[in-house]
Structure 1
Amino acid sequence: MKIDVQNAWNEMMNRIESWVDALVINLPNIIIAILVFVISIFLSKYISRLTLRLLTKSSLQKSMKNVIAKLISVLVILAGIFLILGILDLSKTLNTILAGAGVAGLAVGLALQGALANTYSGIVLSYIKQIQFGDWIQSNDYEGEVVDLDLRAVTIKQPDNNLVYIPNKLVLENPIKNFSTTAQSRVILSCGVGYSSDLEFVRELVNKTIVENFKPVETADDVIFLYTEFGDSSINFEVRFWIDSTSALEVLKAKTEAVIAIKKAFDANDINIPFPIRTLDFPKNVHVSTN
């Protein structure tokens, strides 16, 4: 028993001595590898900042610029790691790492299909010009101002100041309505007047009211006034005009101001906006009690 313990002890000491000898022999390489790693870290940060400066004048989204800078930084660090493995003569370890990375990458790719789809969609959205920071868009039944765009979701601020996070995949695959692609927005307002009204006077009055209350509308020719139908209790019309804004909130405000102005004009000229009316026709042999 004592002989086995002594042999084990001698074997362990021999191993430790061999490891110490290997450490002493490879100490210069280890020092160089540490220096290469430190240099790689500082170099990655410098190149990341330099990339952001070079991309400042580009038309890419801010989020996309950050992504590109981070990817370049990671590539620099990976290059430094591969160089370190070569300095330490760990080529076999490198091959093992690459083989394991391939298998792990396949497994991770299958498990994170949704996340990867959002990442790819975020990269595509960062390149296209249809969505920019500050644009007022409508997508997936949500409407608001684009305040952020990253590799996971598009963030929009709604008129009630709430934030909505829409996955990039849904934004890319579904229609996008961008109200900010033009300099103006059209306001469309529907109303109705009584059957006894002078229709030509109503048209002239509405056009005049719009011109007086909205600066972008210079003349009555800039207003589109259309009678649309004979309604149940009124003759309905639609008025359309442009405002200098692309925000849906500003369109609603303009519509509100138009409603107030038209109502005041109608009241001043005794023009009636009738309530819905229903006429009940009873047979002659039906007795209606008033008690």
Structure 2
Amino acid sequence: MEEYGIDLKTLDLIKQQAVDLAFSVGPKLILGLIIYLVGKYLINLVQKIMSKAFEKSEVDPSLATFLKSFAKAILWVLLLISIATTMGVEMTSFVAILGAAGLAVGLALQGSLANFAGGVLILMFKPFKVGDTVEAQGTTGEVESIDILYTKIKNFDNKLVTVPNGILANNLIINYSQKSTRRVDMKVGIAYGTDIKKARKIILEVLNKDERIHKEPESVVYFGNFGDNSLDLTIRCWTDTENLWPVFWENMEAIKEALEFNEISIPFPQRDVHHFYPEGKK
């Protein structure tokens, strides 16, 4: 080996250092590999156990997917930390790097993290679910999807509205689908001088003919206000949630026809004009 500038003594020293390195690092590598394989197996096992548990408890699929992904990420971080510790990496430096990276990411994604937290709250507490009709942030429509960061609501005119979950989780949400029954509110104006009791009887007869309207609570007709042009009647009845708008539209039309048939006038806006002439003129 002298022709390459390496004498036998130097070669023996290199060999000895290689052997020492192998004996010092080799066991750590083997142990790290074993920890990796065992850890990977345990992570997959935990994922299977969580999937079975979520299926039995009928957890929302979106929430189940999120929780499994989150748990998997945490377990992989713990596994990497364990392997790094086994390999002799100083944990103080490792944790400091992770902390600095986490702070930087948190500041950069502050809004997204708020939406993320809001999505978790919505999926956990379920103020609404996919398919429900809700009113939130000035829009009313059917919930089309609930993602981790955003919720998509389809308006009745087929517009798709995407609302950040952070805003949804911290503001008023009206869920029109959560209850199985709804109250139908209608208002009808009748002419001054009309017999209110007669009008009430006619309207109740119309409502009683509709089998979709519940008998309990019973339908009611109240005289509610002296309007500018009419006596205003408030009509209230109860029906199944899915029948709300058909009951409203069809009975409004039926009430109008019944009142007209019984010669009860439904007035339109009008004004009486009094003209005063100067003295001596007609």
Shared fold, TM over 0.5: yes
Q: What percent identity do the matched residue pairs reach?
A: 26
**Quick one: which amino acid aligns to residue 274 of structure 1?**
P
Pairing of 1:1-291 with structure 2 (within 5 A)? 21=18, 25=22, 30=29, 33=32, 37=36, 40-41=39-40, 43-58=42-57, 60-87=59-86, 89-92=87-90, 94-218=91-215, 222-245=218-241, 250-285=243-278
Cα pair 2:212 2:247 within 8 Å, conserved: no
**Alpha carbons of structure 1 residues 230 and 79: separation in structure 2 relative to 1, 3 Å:** closer
Count of matched residue pairs: 268
In the TM superposition, what is the alpha-carbon distance from 1:133 to its structure 2 partner? Answer: 3.5
**Secondary structure of 2:153's partner?**
strand
The one-letter code sitting in structure 1 at the alignment partner of 2:218 is D
Q: Describe the SS at the equivalent of 2:228.
A: coil
Letter aligned with residue 268 of structure 1: F
1:81 positional shift: 2.1
Single out whichever of 148-157 and 111-120 deviates more from structure 2: 148-157
Q: CA offsets per residue over residues 14-44 of structure 1, 9 Å max, x none? A: 9xx89x948x935676576557546655653
Gaps of 5+ in 2: 6-10
Question: CA offsets per residue over residues 80-120 of structure 1, 9 Å max, x none?
Answer: 32343345x2423x543321111121222222222212222
TM superposition shift of 1:266: 2.0
Looking at structure 1, the residues matched to 251 and 44 of structure 2 have their Cα atoms a distance apart, in angstroms, of 56
Work out the CA distance in 1 between the residues paired with 2:41 and 2:157. Answer: 45
TM-score of the two chains, using structure 2 as the length reference: 0.80
Contact 2:207 2:213 survives alignment (8 Å):
no
Farther-moved stretch of structure 1 (53-62 vs 113-122): 53-62
TM-score (norm 1): 0.77
Cα offset for 1:59? 5.7
Distance in structure 1 (CA, Å) of the matches to 2:100 and 2:215:
68
Q: Which runs of 5+ in 1 are unaligned?
A: 1-5, 8-13
